[in-house]
Amino acid sequence: MAVWAKIRMYYKTMLGSSGSSISATSTADGDYSIDYIYNWLEINFWKSANITTPMYISYDAGSGNTKTADYLAIIGHNLKTCGATIGLQYSSDDTTYYDCFTAFAVVDDKVILKEFTSPGAYRYWRLAITGTLSVVPFLAICVWGDKTELDYATASFDPHEQNIKANIGVSQGGYVTGVHISYVTRELDLKFNDSDSTFYDKIKTWWDNHGIKNFFIAWDITNNPTEVYLMRAKEKISNPFNQTGIMRDINLSLTGRKE
């Protein structure tokens, strides 16, 4: 039997941090600001002005600042269609850059999650897009930072639960006259019973600093590495003390549009 990985969240990102800046090698005319890639929304995106490579999305933590990262996550892109190869790089002087991992060709236009060993704290980071591009690339959400590892869920859950949002017409006789599917959501309900203060602090930090914004979650990155979802917390969170008065029973109810 395969051993599952602990559930992991990916919401901490250096992008947009105080004193930092971000830029792109090129940006198309129109409403395609590079700042869109870290607002956690899928409805707006950055788009390049051309297909010239190498192409960089460059981050500067600001004078005197350094940041760490051990993951890269992207959703809402056309990098496979472009024929792109991507990598993440870091530098202490904005001149000599080193690879966080071996650059790889993108295999489809779905979610990308790449974990890697953190190289340490550096001021400069950049996403490198290389290859012979056929069309201009675009990115809706593209973030990198430090992952948060939770624990194993203590109650059964369905990582594939879905909810179809549809308008269904029914006649007076009960016959279905038409079905219009608007979209499909994923639903993920996780329970972690008897959680200590260290675990609870991870949840509280996420809730206090990220709240109900979108984030990435992997329910088993070891055996199901492609099953990474963009989700958000529902409006209520409940982490009651159990009968011990010390440990907490943590409940996370998540939802998100199915890609």
CATH number of the domain bearing residue 105: 2.60.120.260
pLDDT of residue 1: 45
Q: Is the peptide bond before 54 cis (omega within 30 degrees of 0)?
A: yes
Domain annotation covers residue 154: no
Alpha helices, H only, 86-237: 197-209
Residue 126 shares a structural domain with residue 177: no
Instruction: Say yes or no: 137 and 178 in one domain.
Output: no
* Token pair recorded at residue 152: 């194993």
Q: Which amino acid is at 117?
A: T
Give the pLDDT of residue 120. 98
User: Are residues 188 and 216 in contact, defined by beta-carbon separation less than 8 angstroms?
Assistant: no
Looking at the structure, tell me whether residues 190 and 89 fall in a common domain.
no
* pLDDT of res. 77: 98
Domain end marker among 126, 149, 172: 149
Q: Which of 128, 149, 170 finishes a domain?
A: 149
Looking at residue 248, what is its pLDDT? Answer: 86
119 with 64, same domain: the answer is: yes
Closest C-alpha among 245, 205, 213 to residue 230 = 213
What pLDDT is stored for residue 2 in this prediction?
A: 58
Q: Does 201 map to a domain?
A: yes
Pairing status of strand 176-195 against strand 215-218? unpaired
Contact, 77 vs 44, CB < 8 A?
no
Identify the domain containing residue 191 by its residue range: 162-213+231-257
Residue 128's pLDDT is 98
The pTM score is 0.93
Specify whether 82 is located in the same domain as 104: yes
Residue 82 and residue 46 share a domain:
yes
In a domain, 140, yes or no: yes
Tens digit of each residue's pLDDT, the chain (259 residues): 457 789 999 999 999 999 999 999 999 999 999 999 999 999 999 999 999 999 999 999 999 999 999 999 999 999 999 999 999 999 999 999 999 999 999 999 999 999 999 999 999 999 999 999 999 999 999 999 999 999 998 888 888 999 898 898 888 888 888 888 888 999 999 999 888 889 999 999 999 999 999 999 999 999 999 999 999 998 888 787 877 778 888 899 999 999 9
Same domain, 24 and 93: yes
Q: What is the three-class DSSP state of 190?
A: strand
Residue type, 213: K
In order of 35, 49, 231, the CA distances from 182 in angstroms are: 29, 32, 18
Are 136 and 50 spatial neighbours (Cβ–Cβ below 8 Å)? yes
List pLDDT tens digits, range 115-133: 999 999 999 999 999 999 9
Residues 204 and 253 in one domain: yes
Does 74 reside within a domain?
Answer: yes
Q: Are residues 108 and 196 in the same domain?
A: no
In a domain, residue 220? The reply is no
Instruction: With H, G, I as helix, E, B as strand and everything else as coil, classify residue 210.
Output: coil
Q: How far apart are CA 30 and CA 109, in angstroms?
A: 23
Domain count, the chain: 2
Predicted pLDDT of residue 130: 97
Burial of 26 (0-12, 13-18, 19+ CB in 10 A): middle
Q: In degrees rounded to 5, what are phi and psi of residue 223?
A: -100, -20
Quick one: 58 and 141 in the same domain?
Answer: yes
Flag whether 138 is in a domain: yes
d(CA 6, CA 129): 31
Q: Are 210 and 37 in contact (CB under 8 A)?
A: no
Q: Is residue 225 part of a domain?
A: no
Comparing C-alpha atoms, which of 96, 127, 105 is closest to residue 15? 127
pLDDT in tens, 132-167: 999 999 999 999 999 999 999 888 888 899 989 889
Tell which of 108, 126, 149 closes a domain.
Answer: 149
Q: Which of 41, 72, 67, 35 is nearest to 228 (CA)?
A: 72
